[in-house]
Amino acid sequence: MQEAEELPAQLGTALPSVERLFDHLADAVYLIDPDTSCIVWGNRKAWESLGLSRDDVLDHSVLSLQKDVHGMPQWAQIADAIRGSDCFRFIGRHRHQQGHEVEVEVNTTRFTLDGREYFLSVARDITRRVAQEADAQWREKQLWFALNEAGDGLWDWEVSTGALFFSPQLKRMLGYGPDEMAPVLETWSHNVHPEDVQRVMAALQAHMQGKCFRYEAEYRIRNRDGHYLWVHDRGRVCDHDADGQPRRVVGMVQDISARKTLELQLQELATSDMLTGLANRRQGTDFLKAQVELCQRLGLPLGLAFIDIDNFKAINDLRGHLVGDKVIQRVGQVVKDGVRGSDLVCRWGGEEFIVIAPNTGIEPMGLVAEKLRLAVMRELASHVPPVTISVGVASAAGLSMDIPSLLEGADAALYKAKQGGRNRVALADQR
């Protein structure tokens, strides 16, 4: 009490009146008669916020100013609610003199003075806040719409409880309904492809341990019908507990099956012949280099056979290129079926094939070539014009073995077979 009495003296002047203090408030203040709902007093903001004068405000009641209170019965219910609470909060709209609405949040308390009851209402203009909230809600809806249309799935993992939220988009991606997929980590981890799961879990743990800026992985995950999708999964820890441990991790999953399939096809095309599915010249060259090094190191012979389809131009001229392509495909398949699994058959170019046979000398390679020649004649016996092959065989062993010599020897032997009348096998001269 002594401190309160000394305050005016400390300020050096008398305190301003209560009415003047209220006139400097940023919020509108109304003193209301509970029985009639009439406004009996208001501060400056009370009438300025509505485009009125002081006298105009005092001629109004709550019913004429507040658009969301209709009639005395509703006011009576609101008055009872005010009397039953320490502070009654109401969100409504005030009518402005110029015809527009003012969004307000009204907090009302009750008090008694000289035996008479009053309501004191403080109304705050929340028009800008409501507009900002509406804009934020609209933007959130737009964001969720964009995410939904993009088809990416979202996940939200609460590490401490193990709860894992799967978005409807993610469930749909995997073929499930919105009320399916148990919200636990195992629902996800048990469906990751067995060959990928260890790598994926290691990537997730590395991020959670702070070793990586974010978690990111490409892997296969099983959908509802048992097939596997390729997905690109990425996420980050977004919340930590008091000890600095990850508490929440969120991420996004994108279906990349189409892209991954194309990648695998391109990889296969890089080493496979598009027409026959056999190894192409690039893969054949790589295999030949590797086998030369291996056979040199182990002291083993390496056999090589050049195969050419006889008179192939005549087949194209008489039957057309589509038939010619089918002939190449059939010959390639016959040759592949006639050699060992450890041997490589590749399409060297055009109508030419090459067979690389590790640990095979020239005589055994000649026998293999003859078997292939007879097999082609048998499998394509009904073809018009006839389909036959000529084969040149070479072999080398020891440290003196080199790729150019092998290829030159087989090519020279093939030329010899063609010069000898075609549809035959010729062996390279031994050095």
Catalytic machinery residues: 351
Q: Are 29 and 45 in contact (CB under 8 A)?
A: yes
The Cα 88–Cα 380 span in angstroms is 97
The Cα 410–Cα 303 span in angstroms is 9
Residue recorded with tokens 């029985």: 35
Convert 283-341 into a string of H (helix), E (strand) and C (coil).
Answer: HHHHHHHHHHHHHHHHCCCEEEEEEEECCHHHHHHHHCHHHHHHHHHHHHHHHHHCCCC
Residues 6+ apart with CB under 8 A from 133: none
Q: Where are the beta strands (DSSP E) in 141-187?
A: 153-158, 163-166
Q: Are 424 and 374 in contact (CB under 8 A)?
A: no
Identify the bridge partners of residue 231 per DSSP, sorted by sequence position.
219, 255
Nearest to 309 by CA among 413, 411, 386, 412: 386
Query: 287: which 2 tokens?
Result: 């295999």
Q: Are 302 and 360 in contact (CB under 8 A)?
A: yes
If DSSP codes are grouped into helix, strand and coil, which group holds residue 141?
helix
262: part of which helix (H) or strand (E)?
Answer: helix 257-271
Residue recorded with tokens 């800008």: 128
The Cα 70–Cα 125 span in angstroms is 21
Amino acid at 427: L
Q: What are the CA-CA distances from residue 291 to residues 39, 218, 287, 372 (Å)?
A: 102, 34, 6, 22
Identify the bridge partners of residue 304 per DSSP, sorted by sequence position.
356, 394
What single DSSP character describes residue 2?
H
Question: CA 384 from chain center: how many Å?
Answer: 54
The Cα 276–Cα 192 span in angstroms is 34
The Cα 424–Cα 426 span in angstroms is 7
The Cα 123–Cα 199 span in angstroms is 60
